[in-house]
Amino acid sequence: MVAIDGRRLEEEVDALPARYQGPGGVVGIVSEGRVIARRAFGFSDLDDHRPMTTETRLPLCSVTKQFTCAALLAACGEPETLDHRLAAHLPNLAAPLPRVRDLCNNQSGLRDYWALTVLHGGRAEQVFARKDAASVFARMRNCHFSPGTSYSYSNGNFRILADLIEEAASEPLEALYARHIWQPAGMTGAVLTADTRDPADGVVGYEGNDATGYLPAQNGVYWKGDAGISASLDDMLAYERWIDATRDDPDSLYQRIAVPQTFRDGTAAAYGFGLQHSRIGEFAFTSHGGALRGFRTYRLCSTEARLSVVVMFNHHGDAHGAAHRLARAALALPHPKPQPLRESWAGQWISLETGLLARLDPGVDTVALRYGTSVETLTETPEGGLASSAVRIARDGEDIVMQRPQENFAGRLVPVARVISAAEQDIARRYRSEELDAELVIEVRDGGAFLWTEGFLGKGRPEILQPAGPDLWILVTRRSMDAPAPGDWTLQLMRDGDGSVTGVRLGCWLARGIDYVKCG
């Protein structure tokens, strides 16, 4: 238990709408089983002037994953009871198959299925029907790392879990959520809204910002297990109070999903059963965020501190940052104050292991790292390296060594120099991936290069290819069916002994090492 700094917390709550501007949102805080802050602000629908309330149901997005894992434990027992069912959902995946526990822990090695929709020709607003997920999984032939050895966020893990649970329990997932979690917790308004075209309470999510204005986001995806639950702030505060009330019972569902997991080599994992494990000050927290185009959510909880924070926006505000700021205020912890950089960190390097480019862009007191799905903010360490809560970077000559403990990854990255123009490389042609049963087309015109994909979801829009170095390119996906979009893709040309282009290798953090061969 902790002494809550009530005045500072109230000031932070009052400042939140202005600090994270957008159409609307809700925020709530639970301490020692009591709701000590509960606030709704703005509008759930700007056109109809409908106010946001604490009873307005918003998409929880990926916060759903912990509910799915809890339903698995309640209805089916330990994940190993479902291992024999997994092969049927990955009919073309070469051995070794991941284990169901690997799916729960994002250690399966399966490429993220939402990232793959970009390569199957999907566009941001189009419909992704329930049957389409199975079509993506059926086309998977290998993993981008050996199951159990590393961590990579993969929404498909939890989509497959949903199907496995329903098969084994012979009940719809929504009924299992309700019986095992919503009803015991008092979440009277929670509902499964798997079709994003039909949001609960008609709530509207918005893309944009104050500079460009806010426009309604058009979603067309069907998702279940990886996301899909909608709940109000009042529902989520009831959930947090239920967690607090059962905190001393090791057999309670939340305490069971909150047990820390490990990788196959015994190394402690920071993610498991739909929960991220981290520390704020001296206290251990479990947490998770969620995103759909137009919405951002985040919840965090410490049974040690008996503190929970819930933030949900119907816009692209930083719900993660808001929740952590409120938690630090409640715990009377100072907000970090970066010091001015002492060294120059600008440059780009490539990981020979993952095939991904890492780009460092220094500011005044922080360095932006572009490697994963979004920009990571690093600060200098006293030892002369860079670090955040998830990444550590050190120089080794011209190389850099990157450690990402949460992923069980440590590797050397080599520098990439000399950006060259599109005209200097013969890349314009069609390529085919047997892994995906899909194609991509590169076109060079008017001094620029563009790439689009074609697959079972259609023909994607042309995206800009940016030259990064000899035989290296960056493709940036800023909009996709899922949010946030996959971000930076690294494209590497493959050549034969004569120097002729034979294909390309394409990958992003969510989906690495996909080979395409030249057509014709």
- For 350-413, the DSSP string reads EETTT--EEEEEE-SS-EEEESSSS-EEEEE-TTS-EE-SS-EEEEETTEEEEEEGGGTEEEEE
Averaged pLDDT of the chain: 95
Query: Does 240 score more than 70 pLDDT?
Result: yes
The number of beta carbons lying within 10 Å of the beta carbon of residue 469 is 17
Indicate the domain borders of the chain. Answer: 6-73+171-330, 347-415, 422-518
Give the span between the Cα atoms of 56 and 60, in whole angstroms. Answer: 12
- Class of the CATH-defined domain 6-73+171-330: alpha beta
Give the span between the Cα atoms of 26 and 396, in whole angstroms. Answer: 46
Same topology between domain 347-415 and domain 422-518: yes
Give the span between the Cα atoms of 346 and 216, in whole angstroms. Answer: 37
**Domain 422-518 part of CATH 2.40.128.50:** yes
Give the span between the Cα atoms of 244 and 112, in whole angstroms. Answer: 33
Query: Does 338 score more than 90 pLDDT?
Result: no
What's domain 347-415's architecture?
Answer: Beta Barrel (2.40)
Query: Does 423 score more than 70 pLDDT?
Result: no
> Which residues does the annotation mark as catalytic?
62, 65
Query: Does 425 score more than 70 pLDDT?
Result: no
Query: Does 332 score more than 80 pLDDT?
Result: yes
**By the 8 A CB rule, do 506 and 489 touch?**
yes
Of the pLDDT bands very low, low, confident and very high (cuts 50, 70, 90), residue 520 is: confident
> Which pLDDT score is estimated for 294?
97
Q: Which residue has the higher pLDDT, 446 or 501?
A: 501
Of the pLDDT bands very low, low, confident and very high (cuts 50, 70, 90), residue 404 is: very high
Query: Does 420 score more than 90 pLDDT?
Result: no
Using the structure block, give the residue that is written with the tokens 């086309």. 139
pLDDT digits (tens, 9 = 90+) for 176-228: 999 999 999 999 999 999 999 999 999 999 999 999 999 999 999 999 999 99
Alpha helices in 61-204 (DSSP H): 64-76, 100-104, 113-119, 130-138, 155-169, 173-177, 183-185
Using the structure block, give the residue that is written with the tokens 């990926």. 62
> Which pLDDT score is estimated for 271?
98
Cα–Cα nearest to 451, from 469, 467, 434: 467
Give the span between the Cα atoms of 81 and 78, in whole angstroms. Answer: 6
> Which pLDDT score is estimated for 421?
61
To the nearest 10°, report the CA torsion of 207, 370, 482, 130.
170
Give the span between the Cα atoms of 314 and 20, in whole angstroms. Answer: 11
> Which pLDDT score is estimated for 95?
75
> Which pLDDT score is estimated for 424?
56
Average pLDDT over residues 500-506: 95
> Which pLDDT score is estimated for 274?
98
